[in-house]
Structure 1
Amino acid sequence: MYKLIIILFFALPLGAFAQTVSTGIVYDYSKKTLTLPGVVVKNLSTQKTVLSNSTGKFTIPAKIGDLLEFSLMGYHTDTLYLSNLLARAIYLPVKSTNLKDVDIQGVKINKEVANAADPLAEKYTLLSTGGNLGRKRMTDKVGGLGLNLGYGKYKRQQRKEADLEEREQYLEEIDENFSEKNITELTKLEGEDLKHFMIIYRPSVEQVKAERPYRYTYYISRAYVAWQKLTPQQRKLQDLPKLKAN
């Protein structure tokens, strides 16, 4: 009985640590730097809902494999499948209103009203710094201030995620073009020979990235010429030297 209690005691913290979150910032799709507060972020897998704060940032309990939904009045609703829990930027496009142009030629505007200063403008352009520093004039609205703490780390995570996504796209391109079907049509290789050929001469992401568009048919032909010069034993090795550049 005591052993069971001890096991349960140590199991509880593990359940707590298993709880993870997804974070990010929601932006206007057209105005990339405009953050969107009040966006409803809903985890469709758990039905948990949160709102983005005044800077567009959101934090919601989630795990890899969950589906998040982003909605805001006047914007298209979007969904996101969580393949990882890195901080990310979400861009929502504005809904098209398709309103007809309004004829305002006959409307008269009071000059005093038109030239009057906005009485609330000072609240947005001035920000109190407290203490003896007095008031400091700001060129941007208070509501448009970006995140400062941790922003550099967030941007690095964004770049890392973008690099990984780009690499995945290149890998998919290589899989599609350097395929068994394409190689067999060009070289007539089959079975173990085809398998070893693909292991030895599969082009790297760096190769494909350096030459755009990459000529897969030409590369396979050159690789096959090099393959024919190998001994039967060499064709089974995976550490052969790479093909020489043109």
Structure 2
Amino acid sequence: MRYLLFFYLCFTLLPRSYGQEQFVLKGVVFSDLNKQRLPYVNIINQRTQVNIKSDEWGVFAIPAQIGDTILIQKEGFQEFSKNISAKQNLVVYLKGVIKLEEVVVTQPSKKADQKEVLDDFRSKGVYFNGSPPLLFSIFHPLTAIHELLSKDANNAQRFVNYISRENAESAVDRKFNKWLIMKHIPIKDEDVAEFMFLYRPKPNQVTYWNDYDVIKYIKDSYQKYLKEYKK
């Protein structure tokens, strides 16, 4: 009888100690100031000390278990920590750090930053909003054209493609975000990230949306979410 009790305790108690299921915790990080996505944010699992960075769109995925504490850090922003109490996805808004010693702070807008880079490419004669003007071909020898339209031109085109995607995704973020979603549907806070991942509209969908279209899309998507994932 004593041996039977011993084996019973082994098989019932050990899984609780060592059988904690691991899953991939996914999330996205925004700036609380301008609601823009934050790239290359440090994501740390305190238990395992696994340290990763979010991608250029603020999206991350890190191994975790229920009970883990996740730290999210980026220079210029307050540290954010989250205890993982259930399998979930995270939508995180980092608050900016206020530096009292600074009297005047001028932060250039994203469009100003983009324009500065494009102006730099223009100063090198490698960015013409699509194709070089006719006079450029006439007054520049073929070898010079080839040089200008090689490395720098490729970098310029990649940057133009990047800001085009970035601005398109920012347009989606302005019309499909946590604040608007929780304002118009009775969704639980822990379900918002999953809902946003599943039903995030494409940039071409939101181009001509007005406020009514945004609200209708959120409500219609929520009904689909309830039927397909919350049966």
Using the size of structure 1 for normalisation, the TM-score is 0.39
Q: More helix by proportion, 1 or 2?
A: 2
- Structure with bigger gyration radius: 1
